[in-house]
Amino acid sequence: MDIKQLKVYIAGHRGMVGAAIWRELEAKGYARLIGKTSGELDLRNQNEVRAFFNEVQPDVVIDAAARVGGILANDTYPYQFLMDNLQIQNNLIDASYANGVSKFIFLGSSCIYPKLASQPLKEEYLLTGSLEPTNEWYAIAKIAGVKACEAIKRQYGKDYLALMPTNLYGPFDNFDLNTSHVLPAMIRKFHEAKIQGNLPVTLWGSGTPMREFLHVKDLARAVLFAVEGELKESLYNVGTGKDLTIRSLAETIQGVVGHRGEIIWDSSKPDGTPRKLLDVSRMASEGWQAEIALEEGISKTYEWFKENSEQIKEVQF
């Protein structure tokens, strides 16, 4: 059977990551993509998920569904970040196993690694130290998903694996200032300050932490690579292997947006993890690497933001 005729279910296909994966697979000729909105299928409901799998019988499942957010959201809603994500991934993984799904790709985040682990972060550092307290609820859920895929691969020999991307950005990102991650929040802050006469922009922390950023199209390419290949391990980091300070990120975004006001750093606010750079050598050894440079990716994301600013979603809990 032609691999492009496989039924591929993308959970979370309306989100930034899922939508990018859908576009990538569709562009490459995958003709039997399956998606359900949260209104059509509540992934937290085990009975609904089981009934859906029994009816549709997908060949490949890509889990891009999750409750996500930045430091403030994680800190404010710890129970939802833990329980919703556990329920979503457990239902998808177990239904996939029960229905003979041949390939399952679980998407997580680099926040699964210990806060003070050596840099760059290798896959084998998982569970070797304490997590960053501001997002441990989300991280614990994602670690459980990684281990579930590893257990199925080890016990049953099935092609279930986890891809752990670094900080993602791109079209369809969350630009809500209460719940978004740092890069989209900065794009919105600098844009709004610019159109209001280049007002000063206040940013959290000292600006000294180091971060790595991956355009979501590159992650989608990595997922396609995993769909079409047979990766040996159960866990792979997905990133650029390059990082920069939050201060440098802010200056880059300020330049792209064209804001000419002052940047004020509020050091009373938390910085989060000091550095979070992924070791991407395992994925590179399989033949994959990122392609989109950061400034190019930010420019494309800013153009998308301006074109879609009226429809930018505000996350509700």
Nearest Cα to 291, choosing from 231, 236, 241?
A: 241
Tell me which amino acid residue 13 is. H
Which parts are annotated binding residues for NADP(+)?
Answer: 12-18, 107-110, 142, 165-168, 181
Q: Of the listed 138, 160, 236, 302, which one is catalytic?
A: 138
142 Cβ neighbours under 8 A, 6+ residues apart:
66, 85, 89, 108, 109, 111, 112
Which parts are annotated binding residues for substrate?
Answer: 189, 204, 211, 271
Which parts are annotated binding residues?
Answer: 12-18, 107-110, 142, 165-168, 181, 189, 204, 211, 271
**Which stretches within the chain are classed as H helix?**
16-27, 46-56, 71-76, 78-98, 136-156, 182-195, 216-228, 246-257, 281-286, 294-308
Tell me which amino acid residue 235 is. L
Q: Is 237 helix (H, G, I), strand (E, B) or coil?
A: strand
Is 138 one of the annotated active-site residues of the chain? Answer: yes
Tell me which amino acid residue 316 is. Q
Long-range (24+ apart) CB contacts under 8 A made by 15-18 are 15/64, 15/65, 15/66, 15/172, 16/168, 16/170, 16/171, 16/172, 16/173, 16/174, 16/216, 17/64, 17/107, 17/168, 17/216, 17/219, 17/220, 18/62, 18/64, 18/65
Nearest Cα to 91, choosing from 46, 55, 57?
A: 46
Q: Is 74 helix (H, G, I), strand (E, B) or coil?
A: helix
Residue 262's alpha-carbon distances to 22, 42, 304, in angstroms, are: 39, 45, 25
End-to-end CA distance of the chain: 43
Catalytic residues: 138
